[in-house]
Structure 1
Amino acid sequence: MGNRPVISKEQILDAAYEIATTKGLGALSIRAVAAACGVAVGTVYNSYPTKSDLVNDVVGRFWQRAFSDRMGAVTAGGVAGLEEGGAGTTAHADAGSCASVQQADARAAEGLAGDSCDFVEFCRQLAGEMARALEEFRSDFLDGLTALGAYDLAVARRREAESFAHARLGLQVALQRDPAVRRERLKGSLAPELLCDLVWETMIDAARHHKPLDETLFALLRIALYR
């Protein structure tokens, strides 16, 4: 009996991610990943028992690469504090599925944890990284979610929502760490959670639709929060 190819779960995810980012999520399948890895279909199933498990990790990796380096550097330690204080939805409901994001955040935070932060500049840099990520991969990568079956789509949306919740909490931490923000204004319609929800949704829309809506928002934030 010949030797079976040895392949790690990370290598399988690498191949799946390459397929999704070059051909779209609709092209992702266990069989396609097995062919790309040069292994039997059963070998892929050993690491990913269902296609939904694979889609979950691929979507998670996309958003991790889109913003986790910048987000992790500024928010190290701060997101946990917000979650304990009940400031919003917890970003990591499934600790196992989000372990890679947490590890990336920890690496990115080295040397920067605890630094003060210009909130608007932080948002601008984060928006730029998201825009570059969307341009680097197929422009319809995220739109390809709709090509998935109902169950796979629900799994992908749930993972996307987890990543977005983490991002919103990260924005709140960055806002807290900006000493120049006028704290007395962070109430009512400008309460941190509402404000950061607006900022995040605007940045996502701007990146997806290639419109400078975020720059307009950043200019308004300078007026509303600092003057």
Structure 2
Amino acid sequence: MNTVVTSREDILQHSRQLIQRQGWGAVSIRTVAQACGVSVGSIYNYFGSKAELVGAVVESVWQEIFQLPQGTEGFADTAACVSWLYGRMEYGSRAYPGFFTLHALRFTGDEKQDGRRRMQRAWQQLLDALCAVLRQDPRVRPGAFDSRFTPERFADVLFSLMLSAMLRQDFDYAPALEIIRRTLY
């Protein structure tokens, strides 16, 4: 076996490819090492355990699915951002079948906390980007937001709709766009 040391990102990329081809059950230190063409020890240089590897893979899948275009200024308005997010959810569902519903089951005990933390970090990045778009959206009518109804609260509502859609595997963003239209524009 080739013992050439690979990079952390190469390991994560090969792990994502394994998941796409064979499902979550394919991810183990040994199978990832084989996919990378390196020794098992090389994987342990980057990840201390299978749980650590799986946690990092989960986070990297979230990052791949929702890799934002160059800055949020790439979105013309909130509706364009939400449409893009639903499209990425659909991509994620196709590329990583069962990911949105099953990845949390991959963790046990203390591993669940780490997995949840990684997932919440990915979610927070999406919420932050959505808030930034809401604040810059030229279509938002004056007075749409106030001290009680903030961009953060509206982003939470939109994000809750998205999470529900993810779990239902329903990628029709028209209802979310209607809420945006009626509430902000």
The TM-score by the shorter chain falls in which range? 0.7 to 0.9
Partner of 1:177: 136
Partner of 2:150: 191
Within-5 A mapping of 1:139-218: 139-140=98-99, 142-187=101-146, 190-211=149-170, 214-218=173-177
Q: Report deviation, 1:159.
A: 0.6
Selected match of 1:73 from 64, 71, 74: 71
Residue deviations 1:141-177 (CA, integer Å, cap 9, x gap): 6413213322323212111100101110110100011
Within-5 A mapping of 1:124-139: 124-139=83-98
1:63 aligned counterpart, secondary structure? helix
- Shift of the 148–19 alpha-carbon distance from structure 1 to 2, 3 Å rule, reads farther
User: Aligned partners of 1:155, 1:22: CA distance in 2, in Å?
Assistant: 25
Say if 2:9 is the partner of 1:10. yes
1:24–1:140: 8 Å Cα contact kept in structure 2?
A: no
Instruction: Please list every run of 5 or more consecutive structure 1 residues that lacks an aligned counterpart in the other structure.
Output: 76-111
TM-score by length of 1: 0.71
1:184 aligned counterpart, secondary structure? coil
2:67 aligned counterpart, secondary structure? helix
Within-5 A mapping of 1:24-173: 24-70=23-69, 72-74=70-72, 112=74, 117-140=76-99, 142-173=101-132
Amino acid at match of 1:150: G
User: Aligned partners of 2:117, 2:139: CA distance in 1, in Å?
Assistant: 35
Residue deviations 1:118-145 (CA, integer Å, cap 9, x gap): 1112211221122122212223464132
User: Aligned partners of 1:74, 1:62: CA distance in 2, in Å?
Assistant: 20
Amino acid at match of 1:199: L
Number of residue pairs the alignment of both structures matches: 185
- Runs (4+) of structure 1 exceeding 6 A deviation are none
User: Aligned partners of 1:200, 1:29: CA distance in 2, in Å?
Assistant: 32
Amino acid at match of 1:172: C
TM-score by length of 2: 0.85
2:86–2:172: 8 Å Cα contact kept in structure 1?
A: no
